Amino acid sequence: MAKVLSGKNRIAVIGGGAAGLMAAIFASREGSKVTLFEKNDRVGRKLLQTGNGKCNFTNINMDESFYHGSAAEAGLVKKVLEGFSEEDCAAFFKSLGVESRERKGCLYPYPETASAVLDVLRFECERLGVNICIDREIKAIKFIKPNYSVGDFSFNAVIIATGGLAAPKTGSTGDGYGMAKAFSLSVNKPLPALTLLKTSDKWFKGVEGIRAEAGLRLFVDGKAAGESKGELQLIKEGVSGICAFDLSGTAARALDAGLEVSLSIDFLPNIEASAVYDYLKERRDGHPERRAEFFFTGLFHKRLSELFLRKAGIAGAKAAACLTDKDIAGLSHIISGLRLNIDGTGDFSRCQVTCGGVMAKELNDNLMAKKSPGLFFCGEVVDADGPCGGYNLQWAFSSGVAAGRAAALYG
């Protein structure tokens, strides 16, 4: 029999990650008595790994259009971000003593240590009297009218902030999906996102270990499905780097649906595709004496140059002066749109976020389950995911604030 704690607005938060800690703080600030259950021996384990340990906690270029998933499509992400924006986020951390440092739009705590962010969240929970129960894995939530029972206690409202399936060693093992399903809520299949793109194209062998500036376009069944730009890392299994990561959720979803996925790589992303031909002609005319194998010296990595020549059917020993306009056209075509078939992505152990989760149609604007009043969801367990750059933590924080405030007012 669950023990009924005294007082109104007793709230359970399940999961002590970015979303759960934020929900606990904002529910407490509204006067609720909050108990947070965390299965690890400490809260915020994943938070410590974010941004390579520096924690890119938000981005000054925030827009709901950057997000994917049913919550983005249904306008829920927009509403939630409006309730607690990137500016609110920076101001919130500043109020707790964490100054921000900006790098290309990304905000980090000034000392660039994720522990600073986690510490102030913990301190604020302590100050507000949040009861943090570590080493407490919640297996099930029961609704025994009019309360929810979690562990040995009963609560007016429950906030599920168990994260997704990304980096399961940090504690996020998808438990919230089962909890949602137990209340008959639909869950969009969770898949890895912000991860590498795999290929088994044979020609790709030989270029691994190379980094290059690139523009990427993702194609699903031949139709353009996304684009990005940045430093591309060519690795043994395929392509990695932020620009590849940002397309991986769309690729994972398409591959899961059995669709054909390919990538077009532009190795001269700062030159218009139409101008690449003229640029290469200038290079040829500038150094006609050079052999083709040295045609790209100073522009591309040697092995990448060899690949381009091989694909264009040009022998390395041929003099640049003998490269015909047709050869140059062939090279420009390859360099600005090298096609790579994508047949997989990294798995959950190698991804940064989960795409999929509790579907927006199940939730109201305050992230409460329409079918189960008093049951809230926030963070990665919800079907919303963003690109690299602080967008996923901003979603975790904003949705935690929304669920925390609304749960406090509930009941």
Ligand X SMILES: Cc1cc2nc3c(=O)[nH]c(=O)nc-3n(C[C@H](O)[C@H](O)[C@H](O)COP(=O)(O)OP(=O)(O)OC[C@H]3O[C@@H](n4cnc5c(N)ncnc54)[C@H](O)[C@@H]3O)c2cc1C
Point out which residues bind ligand X (CB under 6 A): 14-20, 37-40, 45-47, 49-51, 55-56, 137-138, 161-163, 166-167, 170-172, 175, 352-353, 379-380, 390-393, 396
CB of 180 to ligand X, least distance (A): 12
Give the nearer residue to ligand X in terms of CB position, either 22 or 220.
22
Give the nearer residue to ligand X in terms of CB position, either 47 or 307.
47
CB of 171 to ligand X, least distance (A): 2
Cβ(70)–Cβ(359) under 8 Å?
yes
Give the nearer residue to ligand X in terms of CB position, either 62 or 338.
62
CB of 166 to ligand X, least distance (A): 5
CB of 176 to ligand X, least distance (A): 7
Long-range contact pairs involving 282-285 (C-beta distance under 8 Å, separation at least 24):
283/320, 284/320, 284/321, 284/323, 284/328
State how far the Cα of 143 lies from the Cα of 154, in Å rounded to an integer: 9
CB of 331 to ligand X, least distance (A): 38
Give the nearer residue to ligand X in terms of CB position, either 38 or 327.
38
CB of 372 to ligand X, least distance (A): 17
Give the nearer residue to ligand X in terms of CB position, either 39 or 253.
39
CB of 2 to ligand X, least distance (A): 16
Give the nearer residue to ligand X in terms of CB position, either 25 or 320.
25
CB of 10 to ligand X, least distance (A): 18
